[in-house]
């Protein structure tokens, strides 16, 4: 017996992984679960994409299986491409962001100051501990307000840096991870909304 099943999949010209499960209830009723995933995608939100479920007789599935799944598979492949592009763009934007540039410049100046002072770290006398704590608390309050307004990118942008508050590293890393996850989920929801 010869079929053209794999030729049709190759004809879609969409690289990825296929997970197809076929359940037979009797000789006339079939349930097919088809899940297409990208070869690689760094966004965990991709795991939320459910499989397509098709029910029908053998002849119905023979005649309509690929007609039914082609458009959704193409949309899913586009979504994976957008997710991966978004993650790469986010990383590039992070590296180019003013905050990152400021942090690098500050580290460079601090390193130069350490060399000038015989590697003795001179504390910054301009800001007291109380003022620094108040600035941190005020910024974190503003971050919370932005999160309530679903402005996750803005909140991430103003989040204090670990370099400025090394004693708050755990809290800042947790908040950074949370904001990045929310940005990713928000972008996914936006893409899905625009696709419909």
The pLDDT, as a whole number, for residue 59 is 84
Longest Cα–Cα distance in the chain: 85
* Cβ neighbourhood burial of 135 (10 Å; 0-12, 13-18, 19+): middle
Beta-sheet pairing, 17-24 with 30-37: antiparallel
Q: CB of 24 within 8 A of CB of 7?
A: no
Q: CB of 77 within 8 A of CB of 16?
A: yes
Q: Please name which of 25, 9, 34, 35 lies closest in space to residue 57, comparing C-alpha atoms.
A: 25
The pLDDT, as a whole number, for residue 186 is 75
pLDDT tens digits for the chain (196 residues)?
Answer: 777 888 888 888 878 888 889 888 877 788 888 887 776 666 565 666 778 888 888 888 888 888 888 887 877 777 766 666 767 777 777 766 666 667 767 777 776 666 555 555 555 555 678 888 888 888 899 888 888 888 888 888 888 888 888 888 899 999 999 888 888 887 777 776 666 5
Q: Please name which of 123, 138, 136, 142 lies closest in space to residue 171, comparing C-alpha atoms.
A: 136
Q: Which helix (H) or strand (E) holds 179?
A: helix 169-195
The pLDDT, as a whole number, for residue 6 is 85
The pLDDT, as a whole number, for residue 150 is 80
Report CA Rg, the chain.
26
State how far the Cα of 55 lies from the Cα of 23, in Å rounded to an integer. Answer: 10
The pLDDT, as a whole number, for residue 136 is 87
Predicted TM-score (pTM) above 0.85: no
State how far the Cα of 80 lies from the Cα of 69, in Å rounded to an integer. Answer: 16
The pLDDT, as a whole number, for residue 100 is 65
């Amino acid at each position: 017996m010869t079929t053209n099943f794999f030729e049709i999949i190759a004809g879609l010209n969409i690289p990825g992984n296929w997970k197809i499960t076929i359940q037979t209830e009797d000789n006339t009723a079939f349930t097919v679960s088809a899940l297409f995933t990208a070869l690689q995608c760094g966004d965990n939100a991709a795991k939320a994409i459910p499989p397509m479920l098709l029910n029908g007789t053998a002849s119905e599935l023979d005649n309509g299986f690929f007609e039914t799944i082609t458009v959704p598979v193409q949309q899913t492949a586009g979504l994976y491409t957008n997710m991966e592009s978004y993650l790469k763009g986010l990383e590039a934007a992070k590296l180019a962001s003013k905050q990152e540039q400021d942090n690098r410049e500050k580290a460079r100046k601090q390193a130069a100051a350490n060399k000038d002072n015989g590697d003795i770290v001179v504390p910054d006398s301009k800001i007291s501990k109380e003022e620094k704590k108040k600035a941190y608390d005020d910024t974190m309050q503003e971050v919370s307000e932005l999160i309530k307004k679903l402005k996750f990118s803005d909140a991430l942008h103003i989040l204090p840096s670990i370099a400025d508050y090394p004693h708050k590293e755990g809290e800042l890393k947790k908040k950074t991870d949370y904001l990045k996850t929310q940005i990713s989920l928000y972008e996914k929801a936006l893409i899905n909304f625009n696709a419909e």
